[in-house]
Amino acid sequence: MMETNFLIIGSGAAGLTLAVKLAAKFPKKKITVVTKAHQSESNTKYAQGGVAAVFDLKGDSFQKHIEDTLIAGDGLCDKEIVEMVIKEGPLRLKELMEWGANFDTNEDGELSLGREGGHSKFRVIHHKDTTGNEIERALLERTEQLPNITILAHHFAIDLITEHHFPELKTDETSCYGAYVLDQISGSIFPIKADCTILASGGMGQVYGHTTNPAVATGDGIAMAYRAKARIENMEFIQFHPTALYDGKNGSSFLISEAIRGFGAFIRNKKGERFMLNYDPRGELASRDIVSRAIDSEIKKSGEECVYLDCTHLDIDALKLHFPNIYETCLQKDIDLEKDWIPVVPAAHYLCGGVAVDVDGKTSVKNLFACGECSYTGLHGANRLASNSLLEALVYADRIFKYISKNLPLRTTISIAEWDDTGTLLLRESENMQEKTIELQQVMRRFAGVVRNNTDLNEASLQLERLYTETELLYQKYKLNTVLCQLRNMVNVAHLIIQQSLIRKKNRGGYYNEDYNKINIKEII
Ligand code: FAD
Ligand code: SIN
């Protein structure tokens, strides 16, 4: 068994920011970060557009950013949380810059500001089109300077340790005592006992298969918290990014940043029509839910497989300078932005809901916090405004840090049992995990995509019940590996998405059920 003061699950922007802050403030305490792939692998690493924050106090204001966030969230944001995050955002970004993150500047040396869908002003701080990679680099370098941080790469958190693991303990309150962790190289499973545990495990795009998210985004933290009986909310609000590069039958994965539309790119159908203005007066810069639904509708009407992003009218040299990663990646696929349109489709991108937390990042389980994409803070409501996610991760890492600093958790005296897998068998190849994962992803794409209806949701629910029973049997019978644990987690997350979708009786933001009429957005602003 390993013991630590602070156990952080995940090494993206949320987890690493918190690790750095705790380690600097408490040099005698141990901070352990477990992360299931290479330490840099995360949604953070792939973030393109940037971080939204008000730096231009002449042309922009906190109030405008707050309004844009509330409009995108379609009436379901928590206004106090929105105000807090937006006002604290610039301070957190300055901190990140002090730690070595570089953001683009203009000729006057001021931060260069980009624009994305739903933003009424230019306010997105970025590092070309590889902002997340730069943030991840700077944070990882910072952790290396702090000897009390241990990053355990290729370690997979399987389950949180709670009273559930000690039936002899009689208490009404659920507390977290750490997590059982699988060393993915040796295959051994051991407990990490912690004074407090922070979930920073990111999103769940892989539940849909066609996603902008990397393979690690399987919703593990949400599934673990759900099994630990923490409150999970707003899971029906899956954000589909409108413009993922269409890659034939393989689905889609590479993101074409919304910032490229902020730069002037048009969306066209195969006939060349700029159809977005038929759906929203903001055209290509309407919020993501609206653009994704418009594209979905055009694709269904035309029977085509994708729509197109047209950059051919833009200054190609400026485009290459601002979006080198997108330019090069398209070129490798024989798409030359100077003359070709980019084929794009909506793909699962972001989860607006997650583990419910209060203003200090506390979950409903004692000594368990959640931060970043796995959490539900109330900032995003029914639809996240572009580039508000990294902002949320940075601000909440700081909130949790400040709360913990004032309320240091006590060391528990409880003794934690080693992992017991006596009697389990080695997983047989015939138990095809890959097949089951694909089946789950197909169910979610078919029955719980951009546009849903109750018949489909009920069908998904039935199919998930079967997948749940099959997966639980495998989990009980065999020695665990990453693929099996991820499948189990994705089945849990899919169940939450379907059940919470069925509960919602009105369309809002990213949730659209054709059995209900859309409420008028103007009613709720
Ligand atoms: P992540 O960065 O995803 O980190 C999660 C970590 O948890 C990873 O290290 C993962 O390996 C680890 N982990 C997960 N499960 C386990 C487990 N069981 N055991 C151990 N470790 C585990 N947002 C913006 O604000 N601006 C943008 O421009 C932007 N662009 C984006 C572009 C792309 C392509 C994508 C996919 C997302 C983008 N987003 C953007 C969203 C944003 O990047 C994420 O929401 C944010 O980075 C989440 O940070 P995080 O720290 O919460 O999670
Ligand atoms: C993008 O660059 O389009 C993604 C931004 C985000 O998800 O906030």
Calculate mean pLDDT across residues 308-324: 97
Q: Is the pLDDT assigned to residue 205 strictly greater than 50?
A: yes
CA dihedral 213, 215, 220, 223 (to 10 degrees): 70
- Within the chain, all domains assigned CATH 1.20.58.100 are found at 431-524
CA neighbours within 13 Å on the CB side: how many for 452? 33
Query: Which ligand is nearest to the Cα of residue 373, counting in written order?
Result: 1
Best of 116, 133, 243, 325 for a ligand 2 pocket test (most atoms within 8 Å of beta carbon): 116
Q: At what angle do helices 79-98 and 62-72 cross, to 10 degrees?
A: 120
pLDDT band at residue 188 using 50, 70 and 90 as cut-offs: very high
Tell how far the Cα of 254 is from the centroid of ligand 2, in angstroms: 12
Question: Are 262 and 285 spatial neighbours (Cβ–Cβ below 8 Å)?
Answer: yes
Q: Is the pLDDT assigned to residue 520 strictly greater than 70?
A: no
C-alpha–C-alpha distance, residues 113 and 50, integer Å? 9
Q: What is the pLDDT of residue 431?
A: 78
Q: Say yes or no: CB of residue 387 within 6 Å of ligand 2.
A: yes
Q: What is the pLDDT of residue 430?
A: 76
Best of 389, 480, 482, 493 for a ligand 1 pocket test (most atoms within 8 Å of beta carbon): 389
pLDDT in tens, 420-465: 999 999 988 777 899 999 999 999 999 999 999 999 999 999 999 9
pLDDT band at residue 518 using 50, 70 and 90 as cut-offs: low
CA 48 to ligand 2: nearest atom: 2
Rounded to 5 degrees, what are φ and ψ at 254? -70, 135
Q: What is the pLDDT of residue 239?
A: 98
pLDDT band at residue 523 using 50, 70 and 90 as cut-offs: very low
Q: Does domain 244-347 have CATH number 3.90.700.10?
A: yes
Best of 21, 42, 261, 493 for a ligand 1 pocket test (most atoms within 8 Å of beta carbon): 42
CATH of domain 2-236+352-387: 3.50.50.60
Q: What is the pLDDT of residue 23?
A: 98
C-alpha–C-alpha distance, residues 149 and 139, integer Å? 12
CA 254 to ligand 1: nearest atom: 34
Question: Are 32 and 8 spatial neighbours (Cβ–Cβ below 8 Å)?
Answer: yes
Calculate mean pLDDT across residues 177-198: 97
- Within the chain, all domains assigned CATH 3.50.50.60 are found at 2-236+352-387
Q: What is the pLDDT of residue 251?
A: 64
Q: What is the pLDDT of residue 252?
A: 60
Tell how far the Cα of 49 is from the centroid of ligand 2, in angstroms: 5
pLDDT band at residue 100 using 50, 70 and 90 as cut-offs: very high
For the CA atoms of the chain, what is the radius of gyration? 22
* Burial annotation 433-459 (CB, 10 A radius, 16+ → b, else e): beebbebbbebbbebbbbebeeebbeb
Q: Whose CA is nearest to atom 18 of ligand 1?
A: 157
Q: Say yes or no: CB of residue 257 within 6 Å of ligand 2.
A: yes
Tell how far the Cα of 484 is from the centroid of ligand 1, in angstroms: 21
Share of the chain above pLDDT 90, in %: 92
How, if at all, do strands 124-125 and 113-114 pair? antiparallel
3-class SS at 524? helix
pLDDT band at residue 85 using 50, 70 and 90 as cut-offs: very high
CA distances from 20 to 71, 221, 415, 440 (A): 34, 21, 29, 37
Q: Whose CA is nearest to atom 21 of ligand 1?
A: 35
H or E element: which one contains 125?
strand 124-125
DSSP β-bridge partners for residue 343: 308
Q: Say yes or no: CB of residue 69 within 6 Å of ligand 2.
A: no
Q: Say yes or no: CB of residue 243 within 6 Å of ligand 2.
A: no
How, if at all, do strands 189-199 and 178-183 pair? antiparallel
Specify burial of residue 81 (Cβ count, 10 A radius: 0-12, 13-18, 19+).
Answer: buried
Q: What is the pLDDT of residue 519?
A: 47
Catalytic position from the list 288, 293, 384, 399:
288
Q: Say yes or no: CB of residue 192 within 6 Å of ligand 1.
A: no
Q: Is the pLDDT assigned to residue 525 strictly greater than 50?
A: no
**CATH class entry, domain 431-524:** mainly alpha
- Within the chain, all domains assigned CATH 3.90.700.10 are found at 244-347
pLDDT band at residue 172 using 50, 70 and 90 as cut-offs: confident
CA 136 to ligand 1: nearest atom: 2
For the question of residue 488 being annotated catalytic, the response is no
pTM of the full structure: 0.97
CA 50 to ligand 1: nearest atom: 28
DSSP string covering 434-482: HHHHHHHHHHHHHHSSSSB-HHHHHHHHHHHHHHHHHHHHHHHHB---H
The chain-wide mean pLDDT, for the chain, equals 95
Q: Say yes or no: CB of residue 258 within 6 Å of ligand 2.
A: yes
Question: Are 47 and 390 spatial neighbours (Cβ–Cβ below 8 Å)?
Answer: yes
Encoding tokens for residue 108? 């006057």
Q: Is the pLDDT assigned to residue 524 strictly greater than 70?
A: no
Q: Say yes or no: CB of residue 289 within 6 Å of ligand 2.
A: no
Q: Whose CA is nearest to atom 31 of ligand 1?
A: 47
Query: Which ligand is nearest to the Cα of residue 261, counting in written order?
Result: 2
Query: Which ligand is nearest to the Cα of residue 255, counting in written order?
Result: 1
Angle at 99 between CA 97 and CA 101, to 5 degrees: 45
Q: Say yes or no: CB of residue 10 within 6 Å of ligand 1.
A: yes
Best of 130, 257, 322, 394 for a ligand 2 pocket test (most atoms within 8 Å of beta carbon): 257
pLDDT in tens, 215-231: 999 999 999 999 999 99
pLDDT in tens, 241-287: 999 999 876 666 899 999 999 999 999 999 999 999 999 999 999 99
Tell how far the Cα of 42 is from the centroid of ligand 1, in angstroms: 5
Encoding tokens for residue 205? 């795009």
